Structure 1
Amino acid sequence: MAFLSTPATFIIILLLLLLSAFFSSSETSILSINRYRLKHLVTQKHKGAIRVEKLLQRPDELISMLLIGNNIVNILASVLSADLGHRLSGDLGVAIATGVLTFIVLLFSEIIPKTFAAAYPEKIAFPASFILSPLRTTLLPLIICLNVMSRILLKILGIKEVSMGSNALTPDELKSIVNESAEELHEKDQSMLLSVLDLDKLTVSDVMKPRYEVIGIDINNEWKVILKQLTHSPHGRIILYRDSLDDVIGILRVREAYRLLAENDFDKPYLLRAVDEPYFIPESTTLKQQLIEFQQQKKKLGLVVNEYGDITGLVAVEDILEEIIGEYTTSISPSIQEEVKSLGNGLLLIDGGAHVREINKVYHLDLPITEAKTINGLILEYFESIPAVGEIIVIAKYEFIVQEVEDNRVKWVKIAKR
């Protein structure tokens, strides 16, 4: 390079090092950019985002272009620095120039640019795309040639072509993103998003009202009793049965029954005009699927049945929605605060009908999740009989002290961590 003066050679090497830093930072920033935020910016017609998205549509061409550019400028810088070193100090100067250039490239063209680009990908990627887009078009013949040759060599070595993969996220990955977004998301919003992602893991048996809590009307009762139940019913729909839930007639539309009552002085036979066919739901149905079924079937509640066809409880649309957004303030069911009372020193007084999973979620406990859904069910499952008041049952790392037993079930129990 004798035709270049020493100052000119210095300047060219400096420019080549800047180009090397540009290619290094561009590669890191574009490959590090958040793809979902990028898609959002594209919908907002952000010009830089649109250019970057086009570059990422063919990542193999993008990487090839950046590698070509980076290697060309690094090789040229190496050649020029060796020539400059030879001019200044002969063979020793070549060795010194090589060592100095290696240090400078690593520090100023690799480590620092890539670190900054990883920290601020959008600040680097969007402006860089203005240069990279036309550069890819210019180098496209060379890029295609190199890619074809690389594929041929890979096939010769027995390596199949590797797909670039999908950007789709699994539910668990989405949950991780939501958990990591605590600073950007309101706590309630975060909780709702996590609950939605859990809908396909929970079944209707996890949120249903157990059979002993199901409110219904026995059509064999006296007419005065039925009228009183209708008048005081807090629900828009209620189960109508004969003698017991094992003989369900259907779902009574309370508002329709009121209308008929106002228009006619009707009795029991007329009551059946406001009754829909019973809707049965297998207890293994996921909440996600059941929400879809409620919508498609235009139903608002259904009776949950086990594998033998026995009714085990009742689930309504509201129960699934409460799983997502939390309890309604107007709900007539006892709230978690009513079912659990803190006695201090980590001691809790819990209603036997409280759901184990909800207790774990709200109070950050680790009670065993088994086939039993309620605290009462959990105790009976482990104790294998109905305990007496005052009995102590140890389950996992918790001590259960029975406080009240009613109708063959544990009504209240104290729980303490051992």
Structure 2
Amino acid sequence: MDDISTGVLFSLLVLLLVISGYFSGSETGMMSLNRYKLRHLANQGHRGAKRVEKLLSRPDRLIGLILIGNNLVNILASAIATIIGMRLYGDFGVAIATGALTLVVLVFAEVTPKTLAAIYPERVSYASSILLNILMKLLYPLVWFVNGITNTFLLILGLKVDSMNDSKLSSEELRTVVDEAGGLIPRRHQDMLISILDLENVTVEDLMVPRSEIAAININDDWKSIVRQLSHSAHGRIVLYRDTIDEVVGMLRVREAYRLMMDKNNFSKEVLLRAADEVYFIPEGTPLNIQLLKFQRNKERIGLIVDEYGDIQGLITLEDILEEIVGEFTTSIAPTLAEEVTPQPDGSLIIEGSANIRDLNKSLKWNLPTDGPRTLNGLILEHLEDIPDAQVSVQIDRYQMEIIDVSENMIKLVKVLPRQLQKTG
């Protein structure tokens, strides 16, 4: 070193600082990359993305390579800075060189390159991966040796490198990714994707037509009554039963019934029963995502939900599940939430007791409890533990409600006060 001029040492020091900055920026850039965007670009044939993905397939080796190079460069830079300091200031130059080099390394070889790499991870990573690939091949024995020691130490601590490289997303994490997509995905499409992810958290009971509202015909009724019900039916299919709906005998297509009506001579109860399809039963508690697959696998579009005793609880169709994903269809016969909720001039809402709680929460951004009854009527009855009279007020969580109409042992209409009135009242 004594034969090397101070100017050359300064040049070497600057070069080493540049190399140190390269390693620091490369590390931050590689670790800041969006792995899913990287995988997409690699699948599209992007050369830089392919190189980076290959390096990141073993992050322990990549980090080992970068740290080996960075430490070697920094140690050599420290030695050169010490020599320069001693030449210029004698023994006191060691302290000066240490302080000055620490500041320069922090600013120009750590903070600045790492900040730039964090802001532009793709540019930094794709460019630096060319040299890193070459260095990985040249220094592989040393990298393998160092990683062998560190991985053994991690194994002693009960950690496995392979298990730490799991980049799979949970449904909650995927939901966050969709929410954060912003303008990259239209809001309508985001809502559909979120609805698909929510299917596993919703059961068939949450969407079913309740037992009391199922369109059904008692096959033991008077024949004229049966024909009249068929003629005025607004549904595509009707449940046929004997005396009680728990004694289901078939699911009749109304269109098929109309066709049979054309042949009046052969139109009878026996003909209807032969034309009815076999009933498809669904156990209560089945998640919507599972039921959607079962509808597809069994080539069914409608099913009756039964409890553990085999009693009918309700009815659900394939369209009901699809509406949960894409929104209500204009052809739906069931009342929409807009028809069940009527805004008032004072900001309050008149809501039908049959309104679904989940739909209210979703549409109005409310937080009514959903772990019990599924309708507003059921929620209030559970809260009061009695069938109330009209004009009774009740508060559930933060929502002040006034019961307007009660009939047939059910709450028909409820007035929900606006939040402004709840806070001042």
Q: Which residue of 2 aligns with 1:400?
A: 401
Shift of 1:151: 3.8
Q: Which residue of 2 aligns with 1:159?
A: 157
Q: Against the structure 1 CA distance between its residues 111 and 298, is the aligned structure 2 distance closer, same or farther, given a 3 Å change threshold?
A: same
Q: For 1:56 and 1:263, how far apart are their aligned partners in 2? A: 73
SS at match of 1:366: coil
Q: Which residue of 1 aligns with 2:350?
A: 349
Shift of 1:367: 1.5
> Given the two structures, how large is their TM-score scaled by the length of structure 2?
0.93
Q: Which residue of 1 aligns with 2:41?
A: 41
1:218-233 equivalent positions in 2, closer than 5 A: 218-233=218-233
Deviates more, 1:219-228 or 1:349-358: 219-228
Q: For 2:413 and 2:57, how far apart are their aligned partners in 1? A: 61
- The alignment status of 1:332 with 2:355, answered yes or no, reads no
Q: For 2:370 and 2:401, how far apart are their aligned partners in 1? A: 16
1:310-389 equivalent positions in 2, closer than 5 A: 310-389=311-390
Shift of 1:23: 0.7
> Given the two structures, how large is their TM-score scaled by the length of structure 1?
0.94
Q: For 1:264 and 1:122, how far apart are their aligned partners in 2? A: 76
Structure 1: which amino acid aligns with 2:16?
L
Q: Which residue of 1 aligns with 2:213?
A: 213
Q: Which residue of 2 aligns with 1:126?
A: 126
Q: Which residue of 2 aligns with 1:71?
A: 71
Q: For 1:228 and 1:29, how far apart are their aligned partners in 2? A: 74
Structure 2: which amino acid aligns with 1:404?
D
- The alignment status of 1:18 with 2:27, answered yes or no, reads no
Shift of 1:393: 2.1
CA deviation map 1:61-106 (0-9, x unaligned): 1110000111111111111111111111212222212211110111
Q: For 1:6 and 1:261, how far apart are their aligned partners in 2? A: 108
Shift of 1:253: 2.0
Aligned length: 416
* Kept after mapping to 2: 8 A contact 1:322/1:328: yes
Q: Which residue of 2 aligns with 1:204?
A: 204
1:244-259 equivalent positions in 2, closer than 5 A: 244-259=244-259
Shift of 1:153: 5.0
Shift of 1:5: 2.0
Q: For 1:151 and 1:384, how far apart are their aligned partners in 2? A: 62
Structure 2: which amino acid aligns with 1:309?
G
* Kept after mapping to 1: 8 A contact 2:218/2:243: yes
CA deviation map 1:130-176 (0-9, x unaligned): 11111101110111111223344556xx4234332411111111112
Q: For 2:120 and 2:240, how far apart are their aligned partners in 1? A: 64
- The alignment status of 1:267 with 2:278, answered yes or no, reads no
What runs of 5+ residues in structure 1 fail to find an aligned partner?
none
Structure 1: which amino acid aligns with 2:35?
R
What runs of 5+ residues in structure 2 fail to find an aligned partner?
none
Aligned Cα root-mean-square deviation (Å): 1.9
SS at match of 2:96: helix
Q: For 2:283 and 2:183, how far apart are their aligned partners in 1? A: 40
SS at match of 2:91: helix
Q: For 2:122 and 2:295, how far apart are their aligned partners in 1? A: 44
- The alignment status of 1:84 with 2:61, answered yes or no, reads no
Shift of 1:260: 3.6
* Kept after mapping to 2: 8 A contact 1:339/1:351: yes
Q: Against the structure 1 CA distance between its residues 344 and 90, is the aligned structure 2 distance closer, same or farther, given a 3 Å change threshold?
A: farther
Q: For 1:314 and 1:71, how far apart are their aligned partners in 2? A: 69
Q: Which residue of 2 aligns with 1:96?
A: 96
* Kept after mapping to 1: 8 A contact 2:235/2:333: no
Q: For 1:383 and 1:112, how far apart are their aligned partners in 2? A: 64
Q: Against the structure 1 CA distance between its residues 154 and 281, is the aligned structure 2 distance closer, same or farther, given a 3 Å change threshold?
A: closer
- The alignment status of 1:27 with 2:27, answered yes or no, reads yes
Structure 2: which amino acid aligns with 1:69?
G
Q: For 2:236 and 2:37, how far apart are their aligned partners in 1? A: 44
Q: For 1:41 and 1:117, how far apart are their aligned partners in 2? A: 19
Q: For 1:343 and 1:306, how far apart are their aligned partners in 2? A: 40
CA deviation map 1:39-71 (0-9, x unaligned): 111111010110011001111111100001111
Deviates more, 1:26-35 or 1:112-121: 112-121
Identity %: 49
Q: For 1:381 and 1:245, how far apart are their aligned partners in 2? A: 26
Q: For 2:410 and 2:152, how far apart are their aligned partners in 1? A: 73
Deviates more, 1:246-255 or 1:71-80: 246-255
SS at match of 2:184: coil
Structure 1: which amino acid aligns with 2:198?
D
Q: For 1:185 and 1:152, how far apart are their aligned partners in 2? A: 45
